[in-house]
């Protein structure tokens, strides 16, 4: 049975069920497996949901019985509209696209969230408790979480978004969900204000206990685990050439899942970490140093991030599983806004990793080129990935994780191709549906009161 340990080495080891519900470790670290499963024996000729249950089984064994886990996977991936859940298509220049965006909210976050919602409900049911999930969103995460947790028996979910500062598609994907356990709050402030309110709620121990606060942000181990599956899936279906996987990256959760798949034997030669102008990770993989700058808006907003929280899991590995060394490095990074890896570790860190930065004009250019060559419409995040992958030699099988459906970012797509991509059929009346949300001032006490009153059992 796999147990989980904190990257900062000062928290107790936990079972899968505890890690699922805990998220961040009490010492500020992230949970990682203490021992790694053997090479996966999962059969890629099976339907995706069954393949997924096989790949993830070693991580959950002991916390759930295998029949129930299999049913949860079938149910979670039954919400995807593509028959094979995650299709792999090929562009004219032989780059393979792993299409992760056929879930309910059109971004790859559904792959993990659909599973997480069901696992939470199961685990809470076993324990006979309820939680209130609270989160802040600037877009994709909030809608994926709401779709995953709507109508669950043991969970209420409250999502804060900045009032009049998200795109209309993104807002409507959250506010048109009509479920008794879903609460949308439009905060009169910025995304950072929303995040500060959420942090303050978690820091208020009495409030946290009264409402049973829980989080489902990208550091949750179970989200990484669910994403490991499609790396095995795509690599198993690929050619015999060495595989170069490019991942459009923000918080480093998606690409770290690829790293886990590689440790479990997925035939992947290298990872290309693709960033927009917020290129702190490009700097890291090219030089071994990171300096925090201001977040700059780009055409790929879900990657407008300076501090990639999941990078800590890779740092733990690079630093030889030394939790104290990770804690020291992270604390230096916080205080100095800058950190460098020890020189002798840099070559080891760079083995199998590349960092590439792609500007907004290049994003538009590649979207246009791919549309003309292949007739394929890319969303701006995927376009960042394709632009980076094109810089790699075609002696490798180049593969790009396609993280969003183009209809989710219609303005950038129209700018590049002249066409406004239509929403897929399951969302085509999104603009006619009724919206449900409450506008509140950027004030902690008011928002806490709202959460407490709304979620009374």
Binding interface with ligand PLP (CB under 6 A): 107, 109, 140, 218, 248-254, 302-303, 381, 403-404
Which of 64/257 has CB closer to ligand PLP?
257
The least distance separating ligand PLP from the CB of residue 107, rounded to whole angstroms, comes to: 4
**Out of 39, 109, 199, 237, which one is annotated catalytic?**
109
109 is catalytic: yes
The least distance separating ligand PLP from the CB of residue 376, rounded to whole angstroms, comes to: 16
Which of 81/324 has CB closer to ligand PLP?
81
Which of 140/156 has CB closer to ligand PLP?
140
The least distance separating ligand PLP from the CB of residue 256, rounded to whole angstroms, comes to: 8
The least distance separating ligand PLP from the CB of residue 417, rounded to whole angstroms, comes to: 18
The least distance separating ligand PLP from the CB of residue 364, rounded to whole angstroms, comes to: 17
Which of 277/381 has CB closer to ligand PLP?
381
CA-CA distance, 236 to 100, in Å (whole number)?
16
Which of 250/323 has CB closer to ligand PLP?
250
Which of 218/455 has CB closer to ligand PLP?
218
Q: Which are the catalytic amino acids?
A: 109
């Amino acid at each position: 049975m796999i147990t989980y340990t904190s990257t900062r080495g000062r928290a107790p080891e936990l079972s899968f069920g505890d890690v699922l519900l805990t998220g961040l470790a009490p010492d500020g670290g992230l949970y990682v497996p203490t021992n790694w499963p053997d090479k996966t024996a999962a059969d890629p000729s099976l339907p995706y949901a069954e393949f997924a249950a096989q790949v993830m089984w070693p991580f959950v064994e002991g916390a759930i019985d295998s029949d129930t886990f299999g049913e949860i996977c079938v149910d979670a991936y039954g919400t995807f509209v593509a028959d094979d859940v995650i299709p792999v298509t090929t562009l004219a220049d032989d780059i393979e696209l792993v299409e992760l965006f056929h879930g309910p909210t059109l971004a790859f976050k559904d792959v993990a969230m659909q599973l997480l919602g069901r696992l939470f409900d199961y685990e809470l049911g076993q324990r006979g408790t309820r939680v209130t999930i609270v989160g802040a969103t600037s877009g994709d995460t909030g809608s994926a979480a709401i779709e995953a947790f709507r109508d669950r028996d043991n969970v209420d979910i409250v999502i804060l978004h900045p009032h009049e500062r998200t795109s209309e598609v993104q807002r409507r994907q959250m506010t048109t969900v009509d479920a008794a356990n879903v609460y949308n709050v439009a905060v009169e402030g910025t995304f950072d204000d929303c995040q500060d309110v959420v942090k303050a709620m978690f820091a208020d121990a009495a409030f946290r206990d009264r409402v049973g606060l829980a989080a489902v942000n990208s550091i949750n181990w179970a989200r990484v685990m669910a994403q490991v599956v499609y790396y095995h899936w795509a690599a198993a279906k690929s050619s015999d050439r060495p595989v170069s996987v490019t991942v459009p990256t923000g918080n480093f959760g998606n690409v770290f899942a690829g790293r886990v798949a590689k440790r479990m034997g997925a035939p992947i030669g290298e990872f290309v970490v693709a960033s927009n102008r917020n290129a702190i990770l490009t700097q890291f993989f090219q030089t071994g140093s990171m300096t925090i700058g201001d977040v700059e808006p780009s055409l790929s907003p879900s990657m407008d991030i300076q501090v990639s929280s999941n990078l800590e899991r890779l740092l733990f590995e690079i630093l030889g599983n030394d939790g104290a060394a990770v804690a020291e490095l992270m604390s230096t990074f916080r205080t100095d806004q800058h950190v460098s890896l020890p020189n002798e570790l840099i070559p080891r860190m760079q083995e199998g990793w590349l960092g590439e930065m792609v500007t907004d004009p290049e994003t538009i250019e590649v979207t246009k080129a791919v549309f003309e060559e292949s007739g394929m419409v890319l969303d701006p995040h995927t376009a960042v990935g394709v632009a980076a992958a094109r810089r790699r030699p075609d002696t490798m099988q180049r593969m790009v994780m396609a993280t969003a459906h183009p209809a989710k970012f219609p303005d950038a797509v129209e700018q590049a191709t002249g066409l406004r991509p239509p929403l897929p059929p399951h969302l085509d009346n999104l603009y006619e549906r009724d919206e449900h949300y409450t506008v509140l001032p950027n004030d902690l006490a008011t928002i806490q009161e709202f959460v407490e009153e709304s979620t009374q059992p």
